[in-house]
Structure 1
Amino acid sequence: MKKLLLSSIAFVFLLTSCGSKQKGELTGVQGKKWYPEKPYGMELIPRGSFIMGKSEEDQAKLLNAPTKTVTVRSFYMDDTEITNSEYRQFVEWVKDSIVRTKLAILADELGIGPEEGGIGDYAFKDADTTRSSVYDKYMLDNYSGMGKTGYEGRALNKDEDLIWDTSEYPDEYYTEIMDSIYLSEEESYNGQRTIDVKQLKYKYNWMDIEAAARASIKGNKSRKEFIRTEEVEIYPDTTVWIRDFSYSYNEPMHNDYFWHDAYSDYPVVGITWKQAKAFCNWRTKFKNDDNKSRGRQFVNQFRLPTEAEWEYAARGGIEGGTYPWGGPYVISDTGCFMANFKPQRGDYAADAALYTVEAKSYEPNDFNMYNMAGNVSEWTNSSYDPSAYDYVSTMNPNGGDQSNTRKVIRGGSWKDVAYFLQVSTRDYEYADSARSYIGFRTVQDYMGEEDSTQ
């Protein structure tokens, strides 16, 4: 019977092939025309070569950045550091997803569906099988219950708005879930209950392509051996404002900097390297979920820049420049400081700023990048090795050693002296560390050739 079925399929295939529009010619698979879309808030950095490293005097005598001519491919880069407002969007999305997941699981355990209202309005989408496609039913029947919790892969119902006003909670089950995401009464004060930020975890998978490529030389291994799972607490560490500076009154920054609207356009800080990576993954997912709903092609991933990409973008096309604006001075011809740092033997306020400033402050460089010097130092994807320039490739160089927890930071910050603002100065911090002076910006590879109209 099975052979008869296969023969029938083959016969039908032959019949349909006769009417092919390709007329026997090698025309290639006809896909959609690809039009690169400039990501919101990003600038195109055109491919090119530059002399990476310290062409000027290495005042610190670190000898960790000898000059080297390298070439980088085209990429998009955020024109500012990621702001508090942008990172709050990530936090709000994670909070929303966690609450919806808790509601859906409890509704499933209680056997309450959309037709019963209350918490049932937030049941998994497949709870109402009459509205499920054949594919959705197949996936539910064959793959549900296979994950760690048994609920992996089930779609949340995001059509219903969450209710945050306690006076409007629809039933006791909804109240139970909402109560579980807040700190207990014992941990609250001034009559305010706040979200338990320890619960705000973002979980994602990624594939270690480099490890897979190396392993392929030695023999065949299963693809799943190179899929990594990360689960990261994503709320910024606001205590950095206190811990970074002993015997210093910085409580207002601890209390207000991340969440208050007054600081929405300031760069987010208190973010570890791992949290920055999680943000990149979420930003890719957030964009591609929207593209999927619109029937568009997926975009490639957002990520942290390599050290070489960061320096190339910071230089703004100026060969041998000391700073993003060229240099060698940090004061303009009108007598104004050109970045936010610690000038004049520690006079923090001399540059018109005490801590950070808004992400779109001072003049941008020739690639239209703001604050590539000063304000906050920025995480890169590269691991720090003092001798990295001696062995990294001259094409898209990257010292991406997964076992090395020291990650390169670049650009200097509001609390640094001018030396750290130089585009060639290298510094590092540990991947699990958060600081009040380290933020980040993201990049995305450009696909295709540069378009002068971009």
Structure 2
Amino acid sequence: MKQLSLSIATVAMAMFAASCGQPTSQGQLVGDYSNRMNYKAPTPVGMVFVEAGVLKSGYSDQDIQNSMDAPIRTFNMTGFYMDATEITNAEYRQFTNWVRDSIAHTILGDFKDNDDGTQSIDWANRLKWSDADVQDQLMGMFIDAGQTGTGKKELDVSKLEYFSRKFDLEGSIMNPGQPRTSFEIKKSVKVYPDTTVWLKQFAYSNNEPITRQYNWFPAFDEYPVVGVNWIQANAFCNWRTMLWKGEREKRKLYFEGEFQLPTESQWEWAARGGRQLSPYPWGGPYTMNQKGCYLANFKPDRGDYSADGGLYTVRANAYWPNDYGLYNMSGNVAEWTRSIYVRDAYNVNMLSDMNPDIRARLSETDPAWQRRVVVKGGSWRDPAPYLNVSYRDYEYADTAKAYIGFRCVYEQVYGGITNNNGRASR
């Protein structure tokens, strides 16, 4: 019995050693690096890195509306990636086409089984739109030829809805004890841009030609998408995140961060291009260079939109970028931010001095004043003072305009706080 007990103890010690230590650790604390996926900090296509630093935010020039809603304050900002240009028609079309195709695949039942027991769309099955049987099955996605006014059947773009699911991490942290499922946010968003904004917003103006062509004609592929409201812009960010996440996981690579609209402070920090207290992304105080060439697309003179080279919008990469490599941070189209507009947001007691932001979960039942979102940068239809990077404007979240677009940011925490982006820590 004594010998048997000794054998059992020896086996137990061996099992303990195998479970708690590594063969090469020799009993020392060396860290656990087992089962780690390959990590290489990625640079998303079309984005540039905006370094961490200290932002002197607020009106550094005239407050043209005398709103006194942005006194100068100092904030610490972590770094992030930002799209070098506004999201273009071609880029947004990739989103709407994906939504269109995903609906078609769902109707046709093109699914595959995943290892975790779930199902997903089998994108390997290519859609044969010209096939008569496929057209019959997808008939509900189209408007009948007799109802279009052109004699040809057309895709019913009102059917293009994007369904998203997102976990509200902040809400779950602030409300402990509740089931996690109660913090799952599900949304359905109609994603096709409002192409009629060119007609609806400019009365007694012959804008029918640009209305018919701007969103789809190849010549406008590299122009900024317009007619997209704040809700749709956020849906685009969610889709872009899921697209990126799926590819990273397929390659067994780490996924970090999400594509989002920039906060108001992130936008201003990026727009300044490292030039503290400058009114414009290129510095200032003028909107022309020494050769007399305009530096942005705006309304230089009363009734004269084209003196700067653009009657409406221009290509998203027109004019010179700022020192971070960002194009058209002022002018061309104004841009949605993630931040809710609050007039006294710069109040010392309201905003944190580290990565400030004001967010809210908006609902269609909220009163109008609660659905105001900060818009920055000025546009092709605005005079020069509206191009000031510190100027604050707002628009309602469910409103689309012919002069408002957007761009995304992507944050990698390690690189964002060390300015050592693009390299792994180990």
TM-score normalised by L of structure 2:
0.89
| In the alignment, structure 1 residue 366 sits paired with structure 2 residue 368 | no
| Residues 1:13 and 1:453: Cα distance change in structure 2 (over 3 Å) | closer
> C-alpha offsets along residues 283-335 of structure 1, whole Å, 9 cap, x if unaligned?
01111111222222223211000000000000000111011111111111111
The residue matched to 1:349 in structure 2 has which SS? Answer: coil
> 2:193 aligned with 1:190, yes or no?
no
For 1:442, which of 387, 393, 408 is the aligned residue?
408
Q: Output the CA distance in 1 between the equivalents of 2:136 and 2:13.
A: 61
CA distance in 1, matches of 2:422, 2:167: 34
Distance 1:233 1:28 in 2: 49
SS in 2 for 1:202: strand
- CA distance, structure 2, for counterparts of residue 245 and residue 293 of structure 1: 47
Aligned to 1:394: 353
| Residue aligned with 1:379, SS | strand
Q: Is 1:345 paired with 2:347?
A: no
AA of the residue aligned to 1:61:
N
Equivalent in the alignment of 2:183: 226
Contact 1:51 1:69 in 2 (8 A): yes
Q: Does 1:97 align with 2:102?
A: yes
77, 84, 94: which is aligned to 1:79? 84
Q: Secondary structure at the match of 2:55?
A: strand
Q: CA deviation at 1:222?
A: 1.1
Is the counterpart of residue 50 in structure 1 residue 55 in structure 2?
yes
Greater helix share, 1 or 2? 1
Count of matched residue pairs: 397
Shift of 1:225: 1.3
Q: How does 1:15-94 map to 2 (within 5 A)?
A: 16-17=18-19, 20-21=22-23, 22-30=25-33, 31-32=36-37, 34-94=39-99
Corresponding letter in the other structure for 2:284: G
Greater displacement, 244-253 / 266-275 = 244-253
Q: Is the alpha carbon distance of 1:15 and 1:318 closer, same or farther for their aligned partners in structure 2, counting shifts above 3 Å? A: closer
1:423 — aligned with what?
389
1:36–1:447 Cα contact (<8 Å) kept: no
Higher relative contact order (CA 8 A, sep 6+): 2
Structure 2 match to 1:111: none
Is the contact made by 1:44 and 1:75 (CA closer than 8 Å) also made in structure 2? yes
Q: CA deviation at 1:11?
A: 10
For the 8 Å contact 2:40–2:422, the answer to whether it is kept is: no
Q: Does 1:376 align with 2:330?
A: no
Separation in structure 2 between the aligned mates of residue 381 and residue 196 of structure 1, nearest angstrom: 30
Corresponding residue of 2:284: 327
Question: Structure 2 CA distance, aligned partners of 1:386 and 1:199?
Answer: 37
Equivalent positions of 1:288-303 (< 5 A) are 288-303=245-260
How far the C-alpha of 1:191 sits from its partner, in A, is: 3.2
Residue of structure 2 aligned with 1:263, choices 220, 224, 244? 220
Which secondary structure does the structure 2 equivalent of 1:90 belong to? helix
* Kept in 2: contact 1:300–1:444 (CA 8 A): yes
Q: CA deviation at 1:13?
A: 5.7
CA displacement at 1:253 relative to structure 2: 1.6
The SS at the match of 1:50 is strand
1:182-212 deviation line (CA, Å, top 9, x unaligned): 1123322333221111111110111223322
Q: Given the alignment, which residue of 122, 139, 144 partners 1:157? A: 122
Q: What residue ranges of structure 1 are gaps of 5+ in the alignment?
A: 1-9, 105-121, 127-131, 140-152
Q: Does the CA contact (< 8 Å) of 2:37 and 2:253 recur in 1?
A: no
* Separation of aligned partners in 2, 1:92 and 1:342: 34
CA distance in 1, matches of 2:57, 2:20: 58
Change in 2 beyond 3 A, CA 1:19/1:394: closer
2:211 to 242, 251, 254: 254
CA contact (8 A) 1:284 1:299 kept: no
Aligned equivalent of 2:163: 203
Counterpart-to-counterpart distance in 2, 1:18 and 1:84: 56
Contact 2:165 2:185 in 1 (8 A): yes
Return the alpha-carbon distance in structure 1 between the equivalents of residues 304 and 402 of structure 2: 18
How far did 1:161 drift? 1.0
Distance, in Å, in 2 between the alignment partners of 1:283 and 1:319 is: 32
> Given the alignment of the two structures, is residue 125 of structure 1 paired with residue 125 of structure 2, yes or no?
no
In structure 2, runs of 5+ residues without a counterpart are 1-11, 363-369
SS of corresponding position for 1:204: strand
- Measure the CA separation in 1 of the matches of 2:207 and 2:412: 41
Amino acid in structure 1 at the alignment position of 2:268: E
Cα-to-partner distance string for 1:121-140 (whole Å, 9 max, x where unaligned):
x4x324xxxxx7xx45xx2x
Equivalent pair of 2:294/2:308 in contact (CA under 8 Å): yes
> 1-side partners of 2:208 and 2:289: how far apart?
34
Partner of 2:138, secondary structure, is: helix
- Asked if structure 2 preserves the Cα contact closer than 8 Å seen for 1:207 and 1:226, the reply is yes
Q: 2:38 touches 2:254 (CA, 8 Å); kept in 1?
A: no
The CA distance in 2 between the partners of 1:12 and 1:270, in whole Å, is: 67
Taking a change above 3 Å as real, the CA distance of residues 334 and 235 of structure 1, as seen in their structure-2 partners, is same
Give the Cα–Cα distance (whole angstroms) in 1 for the partners of residues 14 and 108 of structure 2: 49
Name the aligned partner's letter for residue 380 of structure 2: W
Normalising by structure 1, we get a TM-score of 0.83
1:382–1:399 Cα contact (<8 Å) kept? yes
Q: Kindly tell me: are residues 34 and 291 of structure 1, through their superposed partners in 2, closer, same or farther at Cα, counting changes over 3 Å?
A: closer
